[in-house]
């Protein structure tokens, strides 16, 4: 059983890379449906009012996703519970959560992480973080076209997005639940360029081999999928 989780800011390409990677490796993708999220548009319309509700909603859905992923066969998640605290802490730091909401959120997160610790498989096998600049982030947000994410929707979104990017580096540096790697989302346009896509896939495969989750002689051309070979637990 091999579990890969992705991370990265809004517009980094997490869902796209999840689909690309799961298809390439022959694994199951887990997506968080943003379009069906009833709270997200409310948050963009009134961030201070709905920040806590949104993060609890995310926490709940991602908790169930990671639990399912850790109990099933090989899979890839486009988001995970591990970066949830980053978003909530940033919103709390800019006054979008009360002290009581902060305490409640972290108590809930602590309880959920404690439950994961009691599972046979406690953590993912690899975190793939997509690192992008502000310019790349905005280009991809514009391309996918969700109205409430656009800078024209709310003039404060520019500061929000730039602040979010600043929070990611220390979060990634401190992340220690599993082996991790970074993809340069500015340099490699894995969504549009087949050449860049192959480079990114090669980087991830090399890392999976390095951490013992793929045989060293694994080759896509042999059509071998990730399996439970010795040491792959």
CATH number, domain with residue 159? 3.40.50.300
Give the position of tokens 């080759």.
219
In a domain, 45, yes or no: yes
Give the per-residue pLDDT at 227: 38
Give the per-residue pLDDT at 8: 96
In a domain, 229, yes or no: no
Q: Is 189 a catalytic residue?
A: no
In a domain, 231, yes or no: no
Beta strands 126-131; 180-184: pairing state:
parallel
Give the position of tokens 């989750």.
213
Give the per-residue pLDDT at 102: 94
- Separation of CA 69 from chain center: 14
In a domain, 20, yes or no: yes
Residue 174 near residue 119 (C-beta atoms within 8 A):
no
In a domain, 189, yes or no: yes
Catalytic hit among 35, 46, 68, 78: 78
Quickly count helices (H) and strands (E) in the chain: 8, 5
Give the per-residue pLDDT at 223: 42
The model carries a pTM of 0.88
CA–CA separation, 192 and 196 (whole Å) = 8
Q: In the chain, what is the straight-line distance between the N-terminal and C-terminal CA atoms, in Å?
A: 6
In a domain, 230, yes or no: no
Give the per-residue pLDDT at 19: 93
Low-confidence ranges of the chain (pLDDT < 70): 221-233
Residue 14 near residue 8 (C-beta atoms within 8 A):
yes
Q: List residues bridging with 183 in a β-sheet.
A: 130
Give the per-residue pLDDT at 222: 45
Give the per-residue pLDDT at 36: 82
Please count the structural domains in the chain.
1
Residues spanned by the domain of 47 = 3-222
Give the per-residue pLDDT at 221: 54
In a domain, 227, yes or no: no
Give the per-residue pLDDT at 163: 96
In a domain, 197, yes or no: yes
Give the per-residue pLDDT at 129: 98
């Amino acid at each position: 059983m091999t579990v890969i989780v992705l991370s990265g800011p809004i517009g980094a390409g997490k869902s796209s890379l999840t689909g690309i990677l799961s298809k390439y490796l022959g694994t199951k993708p887990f997506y968080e449906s943003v379009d069906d999220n009833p709270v997200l548009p409310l948050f963009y319309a009134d961030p201070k009012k709905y920040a806590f509700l949104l993060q609890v909603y995310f926490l709940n859905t991602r908790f169930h996703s990671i639990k399912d992923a850790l109990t099933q066969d090989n899979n890839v998640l486009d988001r995970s519970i591990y970066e949830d605290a980053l978003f909530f802490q940033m919103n709390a730091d800019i006054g979008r959560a009360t002290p009581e909401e902060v305490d409640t959120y972290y108590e809930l997160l602590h309880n959920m992480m404690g439950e994961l610790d009691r599972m046979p498989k406690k953590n993912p096998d690899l975190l793939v973080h997509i690192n992008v600049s502000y310019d790349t982030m905005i280009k991809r947000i514009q391309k996918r076209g969700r109205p409430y994410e656009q800078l024209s929707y709310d003039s404060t979104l520019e500061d929000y997005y730039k602040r979010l990017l600043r929070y990611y580096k220390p979060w990634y540096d401190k992340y220690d639940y599993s082996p991790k790697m970074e993809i340069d989302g500015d340099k490699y346009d894995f969504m549009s360029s087949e050449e860049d896509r192959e480079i990114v896939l090669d980087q991830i495969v090399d890392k999976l081999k390095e951490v013992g989750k793929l045989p060293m002689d694994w080759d896509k051309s042999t059509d071998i999928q990730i399996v439970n070979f010795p040491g792959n637990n």
